[in-house]
Amino acid sequence: MIQENVITWFLACRTTDVPENGGVCVKYHDEQIALFNFSRRGEWYATQNMCPHRMQMALSRGMIGAQNNEPKVACPFHKKTFSLTTGKCLSGDDCGDLKTYPVKVENDLVYIGIEE
């Protein structure tokens, strides 16, 4: 029998609440999630808001971009960069990886998926 992880979708915000090519921080119970509207690519991403390098709640205020076409976010504190698809640290040092979350957009509303 194949066991599938059950994903619970919660409503984060409206699409217009997130700046184009930028991020916001979403509260889900006690979790802080960074949500990114990569409008240039027409994609949405979500990761943990805390940068694992110095444990700062800041990734949602980071700058997003791409490196060899891999979408990434740079922490505003020390410019550590992380892949938005895998959460892997791209800065070449092992400061740890990010947890990522699935995102879906329906009727201009943004939902983030939480694995229960």
Partner 1 sequence: MKIVVIGNGMVGYKFCEKLTAKAQSGQFEIVVFGEETRPAYDRVHLSEYFAGKTAEDLTMAGLDWYADRNIKLYLGDPISYIDREQKTVRSHHGITESYDYLVLATGSAAFVPPIPGVEKEGVFIYRTIEDLELMTAYAKKAKTGAVIGGGLLGLEAAKAMIDLGVTNTHVIEFAPRLMPRQIDEAGSNILKAKLEALGLSIHTSKNTSEILGDQFINGMQFSDDTRLDVDMLVISAGIKPRDELAKLAGLETGHRGGIVVNDKLATGDPFIFAIGECALHGGMIYGLVAPGYEMAEVVAANLMGGDKSFTGFDMSTKLKLIGVDVASFGDPFVSHTEGRTIVLEDSMKGVYKRINISTDGKYLLGGVLVGDADAYNMLLQTTKNKVVLPPNPEDVILGARGGSGSEGGAGITSLPDDALICSCESVSKGDICKAVCDGNETMDAIKKCTKAGTGCGGCVPMVKDLINHTLKSQGKYVRNVICEHFNYSRQELYDLVKVHKLMTFDEVLNKLGTGDGCELCKPPVASILASLWNEMILAKGNDTAQDSNDRFLANIQKGGTYSVVPRIPGGEITPEKLIVIGEVAKKYNLYTKITGGQRIDLFGAHVSDLPAIWSELIAAGFESGHAYGKALRTVKSCVGSTWCRFGLHDSVSFAIQIEERYRGLRAPHKLKSAVSGCIRECAEAQSKDFGIIATEKGWNLYVCGNGGSKPQHALLLATDLDSETCIKFIDRFLMFYIKTADPLTRTATWLNKMEGGIDYLRNVVVNDSLGIAEQLEAEMQLLVDNYKCEWKEAVENPEIRKRFSHFVNAPEEKDPSITFEPMREQKKAKEWK
- Residues near partner 1 (CB under 8 A) are 12-13, 17-22, 24-27, 32, 35, 38, 40-41, 50, 54-58, 61-69, 71-72, 74, 76-77, 79, 81
Provide the minimum distance between the beta carbon of 56 and partner 1 in the complex, in angstroms, as a whole number. Answer: 6
Which residue has 């991403």 as its token pair?
A: 45
| Helix and strand element counts for the chain (H, E) | 0, 12
Q: Which is nearer to partner 1, 75 or 87 (CB)?
A: 75
Provide the minimum distance between the beta carbon of 113 and partner 1 in the complex, in angstroms, as a whole number. Answer: 15
Say which residues have a Cβ less than 8 Å from residue 54's Cβ, sequence separation at least 6: 77, 78
